Amino acid sequence: MIHHGGCLCGAVRFACAGEPINVRICHCRNCQRATASPFFARALFSHDALTIDGETARHPSSDALDRMFCPRCGTRLFTWRNTRPVVGVALVCFDDPNAFVPTEHIWVSAKVGWVTLNDGLPQFPENPA
């Protein structure tokens, strides 16, 4: 199964093969700032599973993680991990934004106070062990 997606302007398209390793909503401060949103919902795939078509730019938000985005429209598409061969793909950038459903919230210790979580999903203060 291949799931396709892309950025707002269409200059970057991508395809993910197979099922994700996990699907999580991250509330950490880096994700908040990098996405300019209260949280970042992403599906995690192996580097090998992701095919990118079009030019991307990247910014290292830490030694471990690069934020990849479309240099034309600015859409934050991917979180490329350098310490492990995995990449986070923004759920809402898939052509079907409901293709993957999150199964947990992580870094809720940094969650903003006006976001109320009532979806019943497990919540972890930081990364799950």
Our finding on whether 7 is near Zn ion (CB under 5 A) is yes
Residues paired with residue 90 on neighbouring β-strands, in sequence order: 42
HEC readout, the chain: CEEEEECCCCCCEEEEECCCCEEEEECCHHHHHHHCCCCEEEEEEEHHHEEEECCCEEEECCCCEEEEECCCCCCEEEEEECCCCEEEEEHHHECCCCCCCCCEEECHHHCCCCCCCCCCCCECCCCCC
- Single residue of 73, 115, 117, 121 touching Zn ion by CB under 5 A: 73
Closer to Zn ion by Cβ: residue 6 or 102: 6
What's the min distance (Å) between Cβ of 89 and Zn ion? 15
Q: How many residues bind Zn ion (CB under 5 A)?
A: 6
Residue 32 or 75: the one with the smaller Cβ distance to Zn ion is: 75
Q: Which CB atom, from 94 or from 107, has the smaller least distance to Zn ion?
A: 94
Of 11 and 15, nearer to Zn ion (C-beta) is 11
- Binding of Zn ion by 11 (CB under 5 A): yes
Q: Does 57 bind Zn ion (CB under 5 A)?
A: no
Does 115 bind Zn ion (CB under 5 A)? Our answer is no
